[in-house]
């Protein structure tokens, strides 16, 4: 049984409409006159972070990836609960708590509960975080509302976290410290687009956060909405630091579009919708299915992998 087969087993249990078929970034539950939006994502040592990673960065990322799911649904974070499986390294744990404190303060979200356990002799550190928030008085965007003719947008720049990972792992070098610092920060300290998410959510036809790679995540909107997501590779926004290290060749753009860990928002909207935040239009929804790529009006073949699929 692969992980996907196991998840299929769970999907058969998760028939409540609030579960959104386990196919969305978060569960959306009516609560009084508002909606409660809730998500739970885990990080595992050796899978989602390297054993030598800075524990403070791991804690930051644990908070950020979960809040990013709330951002994608336009929810204002209300709190988090953490499940933490400890190793036997006090210095690591202390750094983790420091990073957790920094993230909670930076995103103004309180730690409200959870559990701690020992990961045992040979265990990997495993941590889960439940983040929940409130979406007020409007429809909470799903992945399923895109329609042919709708424009495709992203917030921010794409590829910086991937670029930071290359610098961190030594497969690339930056010419100067500032460039390096900017890309490493994108990798180590992602910032969920909470304000953008809240401003955009009443207006979009679909929205999700980009965690596994722009193309792979776009294919999820394509699947949920029964559209083809045509993305113009030349329009994918790259940062100056990214371009300084990797250029803006088709190959570099493809790396950015499949690299993952961006935590920007990917959204669609009817072309006449006036959107309130700074966005880059990167393509258009068309009849069909899946993702297709163009650049300068020419079709571009899809890469072998659209993004990062966790084992």
b/e 131-167 (16+ beta carbons within 10 angstroms → b) = bbbbbeeeebbbbbbbeeebbbbbbbbbbbbbbbbbb
131 versus 203: smaller Cβ distance to its own copies: 131
Contact (Cβ atoms closer than 8 angstroms) between residue 47 and residue 311: yes
280 annotated to bind ligand: no
Nearer to its own copies, 97 or 252 (CB): 97
Q: Cβ contacts of residue 251 below 8 Å, gap of 6+?
A: none
The response to whether 48 counts as a known ligand-binding position is yes
**Ligand-binding site membership of 132 (annotated):** no
As measured in angstroms, the least distance from the Cβ of 188 to its own copies is 20
Closest CA to 267 of 239, 307, 225, 233: 225
Shortest distance, position 59 Cβ to its own copies, whole Å: 11
Establish whether 308 is an annotated binding residue: yes
3-class secondary structure, 256: helix
Considering beta carbons, is residue 4 or 304 the nearer one to its own copies? Answer: 4
Strand-pair partners of 126: 44, 85
Pairing of strands 291-295, 228-232: parallel
CB nearer to its own copies: give 88 or 305. Answer: 88
Beta carbon of residue 33, minimum distance to its own copies (angstroms, whole number): 6
Cα–Cα distance for residue pair 261/114, rounded to 1 Å: 25
Quote the least distance from Cβ 56 to its own copies, whole Å. 13
Nearer to its own copies, 110 or 148 (CB): 110
Query: Is 93 annotated to bind ligand?
Result: no
Q: Which is nearer to its own copies, 41 or 160 (CB)?
A: 41
What minimum distance in Å lies between the beta carbon of 153 and its own copies? 26
Q: Which helix (H) or strand (E) holds 10?
A: helix 3-13
| Sign of the C-alpha dihedral computed for residues 43, 197, 223 and 216 taken in this order | negative
Q: Which is nearer to its own copies, 126 or 157 (CB)?
A: 126
- Angle at CA of residue 234, ends 301 and 162, nearest 5°: 85
Write out the residues near its own copies by the rule CB under 8 A: 1, 3, 6-7, 9-10, 13-16, 18-19, 22, 26-27, 29, 31-34, 36, 38-42, 44, 46-48, 78-79, 81-83, 85-86, 90, 93-94, 97, 100-101, 104, 110-120, 122-124, 126, 128, 130, 132, 134, 310-311
**Helix/strand/coil percent split, the chain, to 5:** 35, 25, 40
Q: Is 25 annotated as a binding residue?
A: yes
Residue 57 marked as a ligand binder: no
Q: Is 211 annotated as a binding residue?
A: yes
CA distances from 150 to 141, 159, 267, 292 (A): 15, 24, 10, 15
CB of 107 to its own copies, least distance (A): 13
Annotated binding-site residues read 25, 39, 41, 48, 69, 114-115, 143, 209, 211-212, 261, 308
Annotated binding-site residues for substrate read 48, 261, 308
């Amino acid at each position: 049984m692969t992980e996907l087969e196991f998840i299929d087993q769970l999907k058969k249990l998760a028939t409540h409409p609030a579960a959104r078929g386990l196919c969305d970034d978060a569960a959306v539950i009516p609560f009084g006159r508002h909606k409660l939006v809730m998500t739970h994502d885990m990080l595992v040592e050796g899978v989602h972070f390297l054993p030598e990673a800075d524990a403070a960065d791991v804690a930051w990322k644990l908070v950020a990836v979960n809040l990013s799911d709330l951002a994608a649904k336009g929810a204002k974070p209300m709190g988090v609960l953490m499940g933490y499986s400890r190793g036997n390294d006090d210095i690591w744990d202390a750094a983790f708590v420091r990073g957790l404190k920094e993230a909670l303060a930076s995103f103004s979200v309180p730690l409200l509960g959870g559990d701690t356990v020992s990961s045992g002799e040979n265990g990997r550190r495993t941590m889960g975080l439940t983040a929940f928030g409130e979406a007020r008085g409007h429809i909470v965007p799903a992945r399923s509302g895109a329609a042919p003719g709708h424009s495709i947008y992203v917030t921010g720049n794409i590829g910086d976290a991937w670029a930071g990972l290359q610098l961190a792992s030594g497969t690339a070098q930056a010419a100067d410290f500032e460039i390096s610092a900017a890309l490493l920060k994108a990798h180590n300290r992602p910032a969920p687009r909470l304000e953008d998410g809240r401003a955009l959510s009443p207006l979009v036809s679909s929205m999700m956060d980009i965690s596994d790679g722009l193309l792979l995540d776009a294919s999820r909107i394509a699947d949920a909405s029964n559209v083809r997501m045509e993305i113009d590779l030349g329009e994918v926004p790259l940062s100056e630091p990214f371009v300084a290290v990797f250029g803006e060749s088709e190959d570099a753009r493809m790396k950015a579009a499949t690299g993952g860990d961006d935590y920007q928002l990917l959204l669609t909207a009817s072309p006449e919708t006036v959107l309130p935040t700074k966005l880059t239009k990167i393509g258009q929804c068309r009849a069909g299915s899946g993702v297709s790529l163009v650049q300068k009006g020419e079709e571009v073949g899809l890469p072998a992998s659209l993004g990062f699929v966790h084992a």
